[in-house]
Amino acid sequence: MNDLTGPRRKIARYGAEEVVNPILLEGGTLADACRAFEAFTGEPIGRDAMARHNRRLDDAADKMKSIEVMVDRLLEHDGYYEGSDPGEKAAALVRRMMLTLAVEAVADIPPDKLAQMITRLENSRISGERLRLQYNAAFEKAKQAILAKLEVEMRGQPELREQVAALAETTYRDAIDEVEGR
């Protein structure tokens, strides 16, 4: 058995997608695609095989368009992700998109596998929230360390210490707001 036989479709076996797909995607005819396949491979191909390939190509293009629409809708609802940093927003978009795709594919996925996927997605969300809380705690700890050091350094100047503490609190709040996208 040579490498051009087997269960794969003829167009894939010959690596002719790069020649055939652009013709079909640009609205060329099945006959044009068949001629391009024959010129590329030196082998004939039937119109029925090319029509099946064209249907699969159209299905893939439709699926890609539906994913693009889904992503556009998710991006339009930016308020849902308010207060998140860009990494959290991207992770949330990916989770929602994957969850939507999983729900669409529910007919093909056994219920136990679907439940497992949803559980993993939810665990991913929880991990993101945990990371955000750790980040905020680290900010707070750094602020407290700076204030403690300033208190020691400015013992003889209480007014200056209060001014610096107020400035540090304002700067801290600004940094948190910036990180959380407010």
| 81: DSSP letter | G
Gap between the Cα atoms of 120 and 126, Å rounded: 10
Residues 6+ apart with CB under 8 A from 116: none
Amino acid identity, residue 67? I
What pLDDT, in 10s, does the model give residues 122-158? 777 788 788 878 888 888 888 788 778 877 877 778 7
The residue ranking higher by pLDDT, 112 or 33, is: 33
pLDDT band at 39; cut points 50, 70, 90? very high
Average pLDDT, integer, range 9-15: 89
Average pLDDT, integer, range 9-28: 90
Name the residue among 94, 90, 99, 24 with its Cα closest to residue 57: 24
pLDDT band at 53; cut points 50, 70, 90? very high
CA distances from 84 to 90, 118, 141, 180 (A): 10, 22, 21, 5
Most confident segment among 39-43, 56-60, 63-67, 142-146? 39-43
Which segment of 69-73, 116-120, 124-128, 134-138 scores lowest on mean pLDDT? 69-73
What is the percent of the chain where pLDDT is above 90?
A: 21
User: How many CB atoms are closer than 10 A to CB 88?
Assistant: 19
The residue ranking higher by pLDDT, 159 or 37, is: 37
Work out the angle between the directed axes of helices 111-153 and 86-104 (0-180°, nearest 10): 170
Average pLDDT, integer, range 102-116: 67
The residue extents of the domains of the chain are 1-76
The residue ranking higher by pLDDT, 126 or 32, is: 32
Alpha helix ranges (H) inside the chain: 10-13, 17-25, 30-41, 47-76, 86-104, 111-153, 158-179
Which segment of 93-102, 118-127, 156-165 scores lowest on mean pLDDT? 93-102
What is the predicted pLDDT for the residue at 1?
41
Angle (nearest 5°) at CA 54 between 53 and 56? 65
Work out the angle between the directed axes of helices 47-76 and 30-41 (0-180°, nearest 10): 110
